[in-house]
Amino acid sequence: MNVIIRGESRPFRTVEFDEQKNQVRLIEQRLLPHQFKIVSTRDYQETAMAIKDMIVRGAGAIGATAAYGLAQGVCACVDSQPVRFARHVQQVYETLKNARPTAVDPVNAMNRVLAGMRQGHTVEEQKKLARAEARRFADENADECQAIGRHGVSLIRNGMTILTHCNAGWLAFVDYGSATAPIYAAQRDGLEFKVFCDETRPRSQGATLTAWELAQQKIPHQIIADNAAGHFMQCGEIDLVIVGSDRTLGRTGEVANKIGTYTKAVLAARHKIPFYVAIPFSTLDWNLNSGQEIPIEERSGDEVLGAWGTNSQGKRHYLRVANPSSTARNPGFDVTPPELITGIITPAGIFKPRSLWANRKKLGGPQ
C-alpha cells in the first residue's frame, strides 16, 4: 500500500526479503505513526526477536516474517552434512515458532517452506527452495488479501459506518490487510462511508496503526475508546463490524483475535449488527477441536499499567499511568464463538463459521 513520504506517495510492503544480503526487511511498527522506518534483521535470531518484540506484528505479517526467517536461517547454515543441517533447520523453526504463540500463520507459513524444501535433494537445492517458497507465501498472502477485498466489498453500502478492532490492515499482512481489504475496495469503487477504529488498549494498534493506514489512504475515520462501541451501537451509529483473526478453527468456527473482539461480538449480536471476520487461508487451523486449546499469549502487565508514546525528540517513551503498587493481567487475545459471527470473509468467498469444515477443500484444508 502507499505511504506518503515528504509529500510523495510510495508503495511499500510490510515484510520483504533481501536475498543478496540474506536479511529480512521490516517496517518498524513500534515507531508508527510518528516515524516511518525500515529495519533489517541480520540473522534468524534477530528475526525471531523482531516478532517477539513486535517490530512486526499481525498474523499474516508474522507469518511471512517467519517464512523468510526460516529461509534466512537455512541459507546461513554452512554445514552441508545432512543430519546436522536437518538439526539446524529444526532449531530455526522452533525459535521462530516460539516467538509468539497465538497466531497460527507463522506455523502454517513455515510448514509450507519445509514442504517446499523436501523437494530438494541437496542442501544447496533446499536453500534455494526455502527462499522460493517463502517468497511464494508472501506473494500469495498479498493476493489473498486482495481477494478478501473483492468478496467483502459486497457488504459495504453508501453511508455506512464500519467498526474495526485492532489492526488487521496491511501492516498486519504483507499488503492490503484482511479486515481493511473490503474497505480499500469500497473506496476504489467510489463508495462513501466512514470507519470507527477501536483504540485497542493496551497496545493501541487501532489508534496508532489502523488510523495511520486509513489516513495514508485518505479514508474518513475516527478513533473511538474501546469502551465507546456499545454506546455508538445503541445510538444506531455503527452498521457493520469487520475484524481480523490470529487463528480461526476450521473444525468449529471459533475465532481468536485481539483482546476485546469477543466483547464487540456480544455487543453486535445484542444490537443485531452484522459481525464479520476476514482471514486469508494461513489463519485457518484445521487441527484444534476447541477454542479452549488455543494458546492465548499473556503479555507483560506494564502494557496495561502505562502506555508508550513518542516524545518531542521523536524517541519512544513509556509513561506509567496506573497506581504504582498495582499489578495487572494482560491476555493479548480472546476467542469469539461461531454463534456471534455473521460470516467469515475468505479469499474463496464468505462462509458461515460453522460451514468452514464442510468447505475445507475450497479453503485449502485437509482432504
Positions marked active-site: 246
Question: Which grid cell is 290?
Answer: 476447541
Contact positions with ligand MRU (CB under 6 A) in 207-246 = 243-246
Task: Pick the piece of the chain touching ligand MRU (CB under 6 A) from 58-66, 113-121, 188-196, 348-356.
Answer: 58-66
Question: Which grid cell is 264?
Answer: 464487540
Q: Is 332 in the site for ligand MRU (CB under 6 A)?
A: yes
Question: What sign results for the dihedral spanned by CA atoms 31, 218, 178, 264?
Answer: positive
Q: Give burial (CB, 10 Å; 0-12/13-18/19+) of 8.
A: exposed
Q: Is 346 in the site for ligand MRU (CB under 6 A)?
A: no
Nearer to ligand MRU, 123 or 162 (CB): 162
Query: Any idea which residue has 530438494 for its cell?
Result: 120
Q: How many whole angstroms separate alpha carbon 265 and alpha carbon 222?
A: 20
Contact positions with ligand MRU (CB under 6 A) in 153-172 = 166-168, 172
Q: Is 205 in the site for ligand MRU (CB under 6 A)?
A: yes
- Give all strands of the β-sheet with 333-336 in edge-to-edge order: 284-285, 247-249, 255-258, 333-336
Task: Tell the smallest beta-carbon distance from residue 62 to ligand MRU (Å).
Answer: 7
Nearer to ligand MRU, 199 or 246 (CB): 246
Task: Tell the smallest beta-carbon distance from residue 351 to ligand MRU (Å).
Answer: 18
Task: Tell the smallest beta-carbon distance from residue 40 to ligand MRU (Å).
Answer: 20
Task: Tell the smallest beta-carbon distance from residue 90 to ligand MRU (Å).
Answer: 25
Closest CA to 144 of 342, 366, 363: 363
Query: Any idea which residue has 485481539 for its cell?
Result: 258
> What mask, x for binding ligand MRU by CB under 6 A, covers residues 243 to 282?
xxxx----------xx------------------------
Give the DSSP H or E segment for 314: none
Contact positions with ligand MRU (CB under 6 A) in 61-120 = none
Task: Tell the smallest beta-carbon distance from residue 99 to ligand MRU (Å).
Answer: 11
Q: Which residues of 237-249 are buried (b: 16+ CB within 10 A; e: fewer)?
A: ebbbbbbbbbbbb
How far, CA to CA in Å, does 170 sit from each of 190, 244, 280? 20, 11, 12
Considering CB under 6 A, how many residues would be counted as binding ligand MRU? 17
Considering only residues 14, 24, 30, 57, which one is a binding residue for ligand MRU as defined by CB under 6 A?
A: 57
Q: Which residues of 316-344 are buried (b: 16+ CB within 10 A; e: fewer)?
A: eeeeeeeeeeeeeebebbbbbebebbbbb
Nearer to ligand MRU, 26 or 59 (CB): 59
Nearer to ligand MRU, 95 or 164 (CB): 164
List interacting residues with ligand MRU (CB under 6 A): 57-60, 166-168, 172, 178, 205, 243-246, 257-258, 332
